[in-house]
Structure 1
Amino acid sequence: MKITIIYCPKCGWLLRSAWMAQELLTTFGSELSEVSLKPSLVGGVFQIYADSQLIFDRKTYGGFPEPKTLKQIVRDAVSPDMNLGHADVK
């Protein structure tokens, strides 16, 4: 599965996007074929797609997710049966 992170470069979200991509590659290395970063032409955009399905939108969510939440969102789209260990503990 391919993950695409679309971010607003004018908002300075490149480093956040790269960090999130690194977290996803570390956690889901064998489940993902690719993680790409794509600058948005529209300001304020931060979205994550699994293949062509939108799985996270900053505006809808009301901010950025914590790493634990991000991994759970991606896991639910990529590999629903995968155990995230401590990230699954409430």
Structure 2
Amino acid sequence: MTDRPKVRIDYCTQCQWLLRAGWMAQELLSTFGTDLGEVALVPGTGGIFTITCDDQLVWDRKRDGGFPDAARLKQLVRDVIDPGRALGHSDRKKPPAE
């Protein structure tokens, strides 16, 4: 057993969201590496696309409206596993619109 955080991505096979789920898993593993215990891809149906970190729901496609971009997802996971951690360019604020 590991004490490291676990991320679970439930995705809809009917909607063909495996590639999206896999890409998000890759982004998380590239950023957090061995700080994560696992990133699991869990097939489902019915339009599901949810991401949990240590059983805490961080993203729900239906609740949150679509899919997070990579930077937002990394921030959400970071906020659960290590809120003080800097994410470099993923934390940069966008300049205000003129």
Do the two structures share a fold, i.e. TM-score over 0.5? yes
After the TM superposition, list the runs of 4 or more consecutive aligned residues in structure 1 that deviate by more than 3 angstroms.
Answer: none
The TM-score with structure 1 as length reference comes to 0.94
Q: What is the aligned partner in structure 2 of residue 75 from structure 1?
A: 78
Partner of 1:9: 13
Q: For structure 2, which runs of at least 5 residues remain unmatched after alignment?
A: 94-98
Distance 1:89 1:52 in 2: 27
% identity of equivalent residues: 56
Equivalenced residue count is: 89
Give the structure 1 partner of residue 40 of structure 2: 36
Instruction: Report the equivalent of 1:21.
Output: 25
Q: Secondary structure at the match of 1:49?
A: strand
| Equivalent residues of 1:47, 1:56 under 8 A apart | yes
**Would you say 1:45 and 2:48 are equivalent positions?**
yes
Q: RMSD across aligned C-alpha pairs, in angstroms?
A: 0.8
Query: CA offset at residue 30 of structure 1?
Result: 2.4
- Structure whose alpha-carbon radius of gyration is higher: 2
TM-score (norm 2): 0.87
Q: Distance in 2 between matches of 1:60 and 1:31?
A: 28
AA partner of residue 13 (structure 2): P
Instruction: Indicate the SS of the match to 1:18.
Output: helix
| Structure 1: distance between partners of 2:6 and 2:16 | 24
